[in-house]
């Protein structure tokens, strides 16, 4: 799931948070927003209202239900970045067709 490449979250005030790369590689820019939902991450990623935002999930583990083609809000991922504490290594929902990092 993660390729163990270092990743940084740098805030406007200069604070830096170190982590590991997850999903699409690259450098992004966006407004940091928090999402407190424990479910619905697929809908969050594909919701156009999150355009150009870096979504920081407050729930400790994200991705355990995987991804399916029926729950998208749109046909594209709109977030600029997605920050999770513990990406799930196993998807365990009968509707799941792929894992979060395969999105």
- Helix ranges (H only) for the chain are 41-45
pLDDT score for 89: 84
- pLDDT exceeds cutoff 50 at 2: no
User: CATH number of the domain at 28-102, please?
Assistant: 3.50.30.20
Each residue of 53-80: pLDDT tens digit?
999 999 988 999 999 989 999 999 999 9
Distances (CA, A) of 75 to 5, 13, 31, 43, 50: 28, 34, 22, 11, 14
Strands 2-10 and 16-22: antiparallel
| All structural domains of the chain with their residue ranges | 28-102
Question: Are the beta carbons of 54 and 80 closer than 8 angstroms?
Answer: yes
Mean pLDDT within 41-55: 95
């Amino acid at each position: 799931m993660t390729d163990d490449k270092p990743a940084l979250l740098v805030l406007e005030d200069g604070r830096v948070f170190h982590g590991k790369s997850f999903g699409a590689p690259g450098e992004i820019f966006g407004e940091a927003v928090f999402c407190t939902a424990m479910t619905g991450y697929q809908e969050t990623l594909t919701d156009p209202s999150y355009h150009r935002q870096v979504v920081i999930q407050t729930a400790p583990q994200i991705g355990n239900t995987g991804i399916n083609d029926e729950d998208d809000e749109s046909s594209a991922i709109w977030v600029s970045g997605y920050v999770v504490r513990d990406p799930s290594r196993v998807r365990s929902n009968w509707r799941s067709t792929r894992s979060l990092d395969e999105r």
